[in-house]
A and B are shown apart, each in its own frame.
Chain A
Amino acid sequence: MTIIDKTAGVPAPRGSEDAPGVPLLEVRDLHVEFHTRDGVAKAVNGVNYSVNAGETLAVLGESGSGKSVSAQAIMGILDMPPGRIPQGEILFRGEDMLKMSGEERRRIRGRKIAMIFQDALSSLNPVLSVGYQLGEMFRVHQGMSKKDAKAKAIELMERVRIPAARERVGDYPHQFSGGMRQRIMIAMALALEPDLIIADEPTTALDVTVQAQVMDLLAELQREFNMGLILITHDLGVVADVADKIAVMYAGRIVETAPVHEIYKRPAHPYTKGLLQSIPRLDQKGQELFAIQGLPPNLLRIPSGCAFNPRCTAAQDICRTEVPALQQVTEQDGTDLPGRGSACHFWKETLHG
């Protein structure tokens, strides 16, 4: 089975390459570190996750948790140096992208895996018209003529519902509103109908009413094309609305994984539990908020043992010495809860009270 279509610029029919049992994307034991003047910052420390076609995985974490860095590693846009991937595998349809040549990765990037960035204004080139930037995908990857590429660009803008696309194709990024710019980013990611989209905080810079529009559009297009989606965010609300499964990251590790319904009902890690308790609710007037004490750790000096132990209310001696592995979470009677894992020595107490 070949992953990369080396002969033609036309993408192969969707789904034809799917081998049963092989996830679309699988990340195995990924490590990323940055060599800085002050030492080695360990941004990602052994992350595992997988995404299937049509599935939405939300990677949830605060700033510095390594959620964006792992996405950049998948995309192959990490600054190296100072970044380094000392170990790990990133399997796209079963093939390790980290072992590929630059040429091979370029064939995947944009065509098979595309990315949507947070800040559309700084991700778009201000001196080129949006039509030119959208058309670039077709000119570079598929060798289209300028005229055809422009026609395609208009088609894409219509698909993401930008009104008066034909008239606006020559406009520059600053002439669009924030929500419209984000639509252009989405259009660009969709241009070559990729199998997987990585969206890094796609709606953080937008107002709530526009945020709802953009998330709906993204979900709809995902269904239409049966794409895999990795949604990177810090907003527990956005995740609840769109995700199928969640991976919670803290200090470069995944501390909890679960299907979306489960995690909000019964978190199995004290960090997740604390996060859920610390957000005010729209539909309840609460008393004093629960606050996780302390600060996220410095990646140059990650605490020994469980990285969350200095902020955890349930921390014991074992938490300071032993790094908890991501363990399968079970019901009280021992039956497995599918898809659930927690990296806490005391997940039983956290989950079952």
Chain B
Amino acid sequence: MAEQTEPILQVRNLVKHFPLTQGIVFKKQVGAVKAVDGISFDLYRGETLGIVGESGCGKSTVAKLLMNLERATAGEVFYKGEDITRLSGRALKAVRRNIQMVFQDPYTSLNPRMTVGDIIGEPFDIHPEVAPKGDRRKKVQDLLDVVGLNPEYINRYPHQFSGGQRQRIGIARGLALNPEIIICDEPVSALDVSVQAQVINLMEKLQDEFNLSYIFIAHDLSIVRHISDRVGVMYLGKMAEIGSDTAIYEHPTHPYTQALLSAVPVPDPEARDHRERIILSGDVPSPANPPSGCRFRTRCWKAQDKCAQEEPLLAIPERFASADTPVAHDSACHFAEEKDVVGATS
């Protein structure tokens, strides 16, 4: 699906620290929550990049940084060669037209006092060049049709729709300006199982139709595998491992990815007896005070002295560098080892 041509979005060493302050009148900074701490990846045209990780790993902050809803502390985001973290005003507005977002909770991301027509048409008020005034109603109805809703619903209010329908409205709003990139932050996690599949199918159909690039952020690893061409695994503000979906799911080399995959309950009771499960102890450490060296070492069963001193870099591990299989992909671990935890190859 993905044409490996020029990346549409390049992220380089993106950093976001939220300051922690003390004192009321004389505020002084006593530390920082390192929500995102040096992340780099590329996004190609027409592909889906999945980003997975536990809550608090910084995946939603990445989404906000890409939209420039949060100002990055350091690092660059190049959209077609232009660094958007430094843009403001009119230039930023023009870029945002091409990068849209679909939010997690369809119950709070739609204004209850606006009709569906107003919600989907609002982007046209900000970017009038996309649809001239007289044309807008027609355009909104077309969008409703595209996402599988009845165009006659244009005058209804959000509370008259179910969760799945609301998420379709959110997607229609994201599509309104013909963007090139859509950032989806947990778009289906608030929906029922039978409705999730409908929305996922819709998103895949739209991707083919409009040649969209998705950044798909989720914590459900099965859904991410289904929709993604490439997957990045985040832990405590860093990318632990990134590669094609086959590389990550069938040939994971980072212990965190392996643990994450092995913890996913598989809807197949036959498999529960054969599967090796790695159960991590403890919780994710605080991002205000991350462990030295490798951030995963406090929960890792392979951790050695080297892990506490030296931070592993995200690169193809040396021992796999010459391998001609999916195992040769970027992994930030000193002791990267291939391990099939999903049992896909058996």
- List residues of A whose CB falls within 8 A of some B CB: 62-63, 177-180, 207-213, 215-216, 234-241, 260-261, 264-265, 274-276, 278-286, 288-293, 295-296
A182 to chain B, nearest CB (A): 12
For A295, what are the chain B residues with a Cβ–Cβ distance below 8 Å? 162, 164-165, 195
Q: Mark B134-176 against chain A: 1 for CB-CB distance below 8 A, else 0.
A: 0000000000000000000000000000101100000000000
Distance in angstroms between the alpha carbons of A283 and B264 in the assembled complex: 11
Q: Is the CB of B263 within 8 A of A240?
A: no
For A288, what are the chain B residues with a Cβ–Cβ distance below 8 Å? 201, 204
Q: Is the CB of A180 within 8 A of B192?
A: no
The 10 lowest CB-CB distance pairs between A and B, nearest first, are: A237-B265, A280-B226, A278-B197, A291-B197, A212-B263, A236-B267, A207-B54, A283-B344, A62-B192, A292-B194
Q: Is the CB of A279 within 8 A of B263?
A: no
B185 contacts partner chain A, Cβ-Cβ < 8 Å: no
A37 to chain B, nearest CB (A): 15
A245 to chain B, nearest CB (A): 11
Q: Is the CB of B219 within 8 A of A283?
A: no
Could you tell me the dominant secondary structure of chain B's interface residues? helix
For A289, what are the chain B residues with a Cβ–Cβ distance below 8 Å? 197, 200-201, 226
Distance in angstroms between the alpha carbons of A275 and B197 in the assembled complex: 9
A186 to chain B, nearest CB (A): 16
Q: Mark B220-249 against chain A: 1 for CB-CB distance below 8 A, else 0.
A: 011101110000000000000000011001
Most chain B beta-carbon contacts within 10 A, residue among A216, A238, A264: A264
Q: Is the CB of A180 within 8 A of B283?
A: yes
Q: Which of B268-276, B308-316, B329-337 contacts A (4 or more CB under 8 A)?
A: B268-276
Q: Is the CB of B344 within 8 A of A284?
A: yes
B214 to chain A, nearest CB (A): 15
| Contacts between chains A and B (CB distance < 8 A), count | 136
Distance in angstroms between the alpha carbons of A284 and B272 in the assembled complex: 16
Distance in angstroms between the alpha carbons of A212 and B164 in the assembled complex: 28
Give 24 pairs: A residue, B residue, CB < 8 Å, sorted on A. Answer: A208-B54, A208-B263, A211-B265, A213-B280, A235-B265, A236-B193, A236-B267, A240-B269, A241-B265, A241-B266, A264-B267, A274-B194, A278-B193, A280-B227, A281-B222, A282-B221, A282-B261, A282-B344, A286-B226, A289-B197, A289-B201, A290-B197, A292-B198, A295-B165
B252 to chain A, nearest CB (A): 12
Taking a contact as CB atoms closer than 8 A, the residue among A180, A212, A283, A296 that contacts B194 in the complex is: A296
Taking a contact as CB atoms closer than 8 A, the residue among B198, B259, B263, B270 that contacts A261 in the complex is: B270
Distance in angstroms between the alpha carbons of A239 and B268 in the assembled complex: 9
Known: A240-B266, A240-B268, A284-B344. 16 other contacts (CB 8 A): A178-B55, A208-B219, A208-B260, A209-B54, A213-B279, A236-B267, A237-B264, A240-B272, A264-B270, A278-B196, A279-B193, A280-B226, A285-B225, A292-B197, A292-B198, A296-B162
For B66, what are the chain A residues with a Cβ–Cβ distance below 8 Å? none
B277 contacts partner chain A, Cβ-Cβ < 8 Å: yes
